Amino acid sequence: MGGYTVGELGAIFVMQGFSGLSLFCVYLLMALGLAIIFGQMGVINMAHGEFLTMGAYATVFTSKLAVDHFPALVGVYFPFAIVLGFLIAFGMGYLLEVLLIRHLYKRPLDTLLATWGVSLVLQQVFRSAFGAREVSATLPAWLLGSVKPTESIDIPLNGLFMMGLTLVLSLLVFIFLFRSRWGLKVRATTQNRVMSGGVGINTHKVDRLTFAVGCGIAGVAGAVFTTIASTGPTTGSLYIVDTFLVVVFGGAASLIGTVASAFSIAQAQSVMEFFLTSSMAKVLTLLAVITVIMARPEGLFSIRVRK
């Protein structure tokens, strides 16, 4: 393949692998949020990408605030930005559920169209409020630079930090869903709404919270996103189709499947990008994913149930 030695190829794979890590983190955080919403609740949120954009803008503006008014805080603003991104996205998600989603639970195709409309509205709001050009956050110094374990391998620090953050967040989601009382209520409601209501669970509140949490996670994805690229009004919409494919590929009901799926898709695309043009890499990845979904529509990680 183009005259690389085995050693060089190995180094390339490792480096592309790590550059793929940042993409993996974004995919995973987006997919986790969507898997909760779609996989557990069956709700399609085509505006999910806009929650990423929300979190990204929140980070950019926190960064601007720090740079312009509190230069001493530039080193530490980032964690605040992450929390802010989560809260804003959470709040907007909550609002969206109350105003729109809860009327459309039995109609998935209609939810798809309605949330597409929300996505258009939000994109226009971003454009009018923040301008059409892309903006970036100023990364704190400790996130810049890289680590060099060997001569030819160069691992960016922000990638490692994001990896760590994503792992922590995934763990938090897991704990929330499978080890907390709220998580129990969520799982009960999605498996048997009527009975859950019958035992006193406020299913409407559970739905609202679940949806909002899913959106909040996308907000965090947005904050992560600012470390690898700049943000514009349509940034989020670029990831929405990929994110759905990640969720469906892994099996909408399985969180582990989502992790595995995000990892393989991000890595496949990243590695291929080195050898092909980035658009061909994207095409091949999409094609591979679609083929798998056709061969196994229930996703890679799902159990067989009586219909």
Partner 1 sequence: MTNNEVLLAIEDLTVSFDGFKAVDALNLYVNKHELRAVIGPNGAGKTTVLDLICGRTKATAGKIQFKEKDLTKLSEHQIVHLGVGRKFQTPSIYGNLTVFENLEISFPRGRTVLGSLVFRRTQDIFDRVREVAKEIFLDEFLSLEAELLSHGQKQWLEIGMLLIQEPELMMLDEPVAGMSVRERERTAELLGRICRNRSVIVIEHDMEFVKSIAHKVTVMHQGKILAEGTMESVQANEKVIEVYLGH
Partner 2 sequence: MEEVRLKDKSWLYGLLVLSALIFLVMPLTFDIFRLNLVGKYLTYAFVAVGLVLCWGQGGILSLGQGVFFGLGGYCMAMFLKLEASDPKSTAIQSTPGIPDFMDWNQLTKLPWFWEPFHSFTFTVFAVILVPSLFAFIIGVAMFKRRVGGVYFAIITQAVAAILTILIVGRQGLTGGINGITDLKTLHGWDVRTNHAKYILYFVNGGFLVASLLVSRYVTSSKLGRLLLAMRDKEERVRFSGYDVSNFKVFVFCLAAGISAVGGAVFTLQVGFMSPSFVGIVPSVEMVIFTAVGGRMSLLGAVYGTLLVNFGKTYFSESYPALWLLLMGGLFISVVMFFPNGLAGLYDRHLKKRMPLETRP
Q: What is the contact surface with partner 2 in residues (CB under 8 A)?
A: 44, 100, 103-104, 107-114, 116-125, 127-128, 241, 244-245, 248, 277, 279-280, 282-283, 286-287, 289-290, 293-295, 297
Site for partner 1 in 113-142 (CB under 8 A): none
What are φ and ψ of residue 220, in 5° steps?
Answer: -65, -40
| Minimum CB–partner distance for residue 7 and partner 2 (Å) | 32
DSSP-based three-state secondary structure for 272: helix
Among partner 2, partner 1, none, what binds residue 117 when CB lies within 5 to 8 Å by partner kind?
partner 2
Residue 132's Cβ-count burial label (10 Å; 0-12, 13-18, 19+) is exposed
> Which listed range, 91-99, 138-146, 280-288, 298-306, lies at the site for partner 1 (CB under 8 A)?
298-306
Number of residues that bind partner 1 (CB under 8 A): 5
Question: Rounded to an integer, what is the distance from CA 154 to the centroid of its chain?
Answer: 25
Contact flags string 248-287 toward partner 1, x per CB under 8 A: ----------------------------------------
| Minimum CB–partner distance for residue 1 and partner 2 (Å) | 21
Give the pair of three-digit tokens for residue 247: 């969720």
Among partner 2, partner 1, none, what binds residue 279 when CB lies within 5 to 8 Å by partner kind?
partner 2
Kindly report the CA angle at 175 between 90 and 240, in degrees rounded to 5?
45
Say whether residue 106 binds partner 1 (CB under 8 A): no
In the complex with partner 1, which residue's Cβ is closer, 179 or 306? 306
Q: What are the residues whose beta carbons fall under 8 Å from the beta carbon of 22, sequence distance 6 or more?
A: 156, 158, 159, 162, 224, 227, 228
Q: What are the residues whose beta carbons fall under 8 Å from the beta carbon of 30, sequence distance 6 or more?
A: 48, 49, 52, 217, 218, 221, 239, 243, 246
Among partner 2, partner 1, none, what binds residue 306 when CB lies within 5 to 8 Å by partner kind?
partner 1
CB atoms within 10 A of CB 293: 15
Say whether residue 307 binds partner 1 (CB under 8 A): yes
What are φ and ψ of residue 231, in 5° steps?
Answer: -115, 135
| Minimum CB–partner distance for residue 301 and partner 1 (Å) | 13
Binding positions for partner 1, rule: CB under 8 A: 303-307
